Structure 1
Amino acid sequence: MVSPDRVRRVDEPGYRRLATSLRDDIKAQRWAEGETLPTDGELGEEFGVSRQTVRRAYLELVNEGLVYRVPGRGTFITPNHLRYHRPFETVDDLLALSDDTELEITRPLSGTYDEQASAELRLEGRLMYGLEFIRRHQGQVFCHTTVYLPPDAGGLVEDEEDFLHAGSTSTTTVIGALAARGVQISGAEQSMTAKAATEQDRLRLGCEVGHPLLHVERLYVSVSGRPVEWAVSDFLPEHYTHRLHLGRRPVPVPSQTAALHTPRKGTPS
C-alpha cells in the first residue's frame, strides 16, 4: 500500500504528491498487472484528501500511460509493453531522453542552407548545419525530428560520430552534445500544432496517412540569449504528453484602511 509519509511532501499540490507516491509504488511493483488499484474513496480516506484530489492524481498517471481507468471496474496498471508515454515539462526532461530512448540518423549532420531555418535562428544567408533522425523507445518509433544549428553551434558538434552516418544509432541528444561542449542552455521557446500524417510521415513513423500528429517546434536559447538550435518534431500523440502548469496572477486585496476611508453613498465625506 502507498506509504502516507511519502505523500506529505512540501511545495507541491496535494494531487501531485499523491501521484508521486502512487508512481513510486507502481515502479516498485507493489501491485500486479491486472490487480485493481485502490478506489478514489479508499485513497481519500487513507490520506485525508478529497476524491477530487485522488481523481487528479490518477489523471496524472493516466496521462503518463502508467495506469488506465475502466468505468464501473476501477483503475489498473498499464501492461509494461504498452506503458511508455513520455511527458515533457522542462528542458531537463528533453535532456533525459538519453536515459531510455535512442535515435537513428536518417540524414547525417552536414552544412546546409535553409531560408526558413535561417529566419527562425535569426541568421541572414549564413551556412546552416542540419540533421534528421527518428527516436525510439524499446524499438517503438515515437517521433521524427529535424534539427537546424547556426554555424557556431554546428561547428561544435560537426565531429560528433553519432551524428555523421545514416542508420547509426545513439542515445545522444543534440542539446546534450552541445551542453557537453560547454553550451549553457537556459530554455526554449516552443510552439505546438496538430497535423495529419503525410506519406513521408507514414514512412518515417510507421503510421497511416492522415493519422493525427503533434507538430512541435522548439527554439533553444543559451544563457547569453543566442539561439543555438531549432528542432522541428512530429510526435505520435499516443506516445507523447505535454504538461503545462498554469498559475494565476495574485489578486490584489483591497486595503482595509482604504475601505474604512471610502465614503458610503449618501454619506457626507
Structure 2
Amino acid sequence: MTDSASRRVPRNVREKPAYQRLYADLRSELEEGRFADGARMPTEAELSERYGMSRQTVRRAFQDLVAEGLVYRVPGKGTFASNFLRHGHYVRSIGAIEDLQAFAGTEMELLQRIELRSEEEIARRLELPSKVVAALVLRRLYEDAPFGLTRVFLPPELGQRLAESEALPTKGPGTVIGALESFMPGSIAGANQVITAVPVPPDVAPQIEYGAGQPCLRAERTYFDAHGTPVELAVSFYNPDRYAYRLQMRRRAT
C-alpha cells in the first residue's frame, strides 16, 4: 500500500493488523459482487505485491475467508469465490477443530456471566462427580446483528478459572472454547456435534431477533481433551435468516 493510500485510511483502520485490513477489503469486494460464484481470486503473490504485504499475511486473510465459507481453495489451482455471501448473513465453514474454535469476523456478547448451579443431566454428560456445573449464556453477533444464542456448560473448576481470568469480554471477538485452552494441560482433541431443526424457544427468539416458534438451527456440541474427557457442552440456537453452516468434507486417503 502506498504512503498516499495509507494517509487516506482512517487511523482506527490503520491500527488493525494487516491481515484484518486485507480480509476486510476482500470481503467488501465479495459483498459488492466483484467476484462471481466460482470466480478465481487473486493469488497470494498478486495480493502481496498489490498491498505491500508478506505472503504469510495474505495467507492469514485468506484463512479467515475460508473459515467463513466465503472462498474455497482447490489444491494446485487457486482460491475461488463461493456463492454463500450476502449482506447481513454469516456463513461458517467447518473442516477442523480449529474452525470450531473460531468465529472470524463476529463478536460474542456475554448475556449471563459464569455461575455455579445444579444441573444433573448436564453434569452426567460432562462426566462430573457431582451435579454442580459452571454455566454461562452468550450471544453471537455479525455486523452488530445477533444471529445466535449459546448456553455453555463447563466443569466447575474450569468455569471458576475462566471467570477469575476475565478472558471472556463482555462484548468482543473470541470463543469460550478458545479461551479455555489456556487453562488446560493439553489441547482440545475432538468434538461431537448434533445439529437439528427445532422451533425456536420463546425465551431465545427475541435474543436472536427471530419469530417465536419458527424453525431454527439447534447445534449441540461436546468438546473433549486428549484423554476423551468432556470439557465443554454448548447448546446453540441460530437464526437461519442470518446464519448458514457449511461442512467441508474430503475423501479419505487410501
Q: TM-score band, normalised by the shorter chain?
A: 0.5 to 0.7
Q: Does 1:103 align with 2:125?
A: no
Unmatched segments (≥5 aa) in structure 1: 1-23, 44-60, 67-74, 251-269
* C-alpha RMSD over aligned residues: 3.5
Moved more, 84-93 or 102-111: 84-93
Q: In 1, distance between residues paired with 2:99 and 2:38?
A: 30
Counterpart position of 1:206: 209
Q: What is the TM-score with the length of structure 2 in the denominator?
A: 0.64
Instruction: Rate the CA distance shift 1:152–1:27 in 2: closer, same or farther, 3 A.
Output: same
Pairwise CA distance, 1:211: 2.3
Of the candidates 177, 180, 186, which is equivalent to residue 179 of structure 2?
177
SS state at 1:230 partner: strand
Larger radius of gyration: 1
Pairwise CA distance, 1:180: 2.0
Q: In 2, distance between residues paired with 1:78 and 1:240?
A: 8
Pairwise CA distance, 1:193: 1.0
1:92-133: CA deviations, max 9, x gaps? 112222x42111111110111211211211224342111001
1:172-223: CA deviations, max 9, x gaps? 3111111122341101011111101132121211101232211111110001
Counterpart position of 1:160: 165
Asked whether the 8 Å contact 1:109–1:163 carries over to 2, the reply is: no
* % identity of equivalent residues: 26
Moved more, 78-87 or 223-232: 78-87
Number of equivalent positions: 195
Kindly report structure 1 stretches of 4+ aligned residues shifted beyond 4 Å. Answer: 28-32, 75-80, 246-250
Instruction: Rate the CA distance shift 1:128–1:139 in 2: closer, same or farther, 3 A.
Output: same
Instruction: Rate the CA distance shift 1:185–1:198 in 2: closer, same or farther, 3 A.
Output: same
Unmatched segments (≥5 aa) in structure 2: 1-22, 41-65, 72-80
Asked whether the 8 Å contact 2:70–2:84 carries over to 1, the reply is: yes
Q: Does 1:33 align with 2:32?
A: yes
Counterpart position of 2:136: 131
Pairwise CA distance, 1:249: 9.6
SS state at 2:164 partner: coil
Q: What is the TM-score with the length of structure 1 in the denominator?
A: 0.61
Asked whether the 8 Å contact 2:149–2:207 carries over to 1, the reply is: yes
Q: In 1, distance between residues paired with 2:200 and 2:245?
A: 18
TM alignment of 1:67-82, pairs within 5 A: 81-82=87-88
Of the candidates 99, 102, 107, which is equivalent to residue 93 of structure 1?
99
SS state at 2:87 partner: helix
Counterpart position of 2:119: 114
Q: In 2, distance between residues paired with 1:155 and 1:38?
A: 46
Pairwise CA distance, 1:242: 3.6
Instruction: Rate the CA distance shift 1:226–1:27 in 2: closer, same or farther, 3 A.
Output: same
Instruction: Rate the CA distance shift 1:127–1:242 in 2: closer, same or farther, 3 A.
Output: same
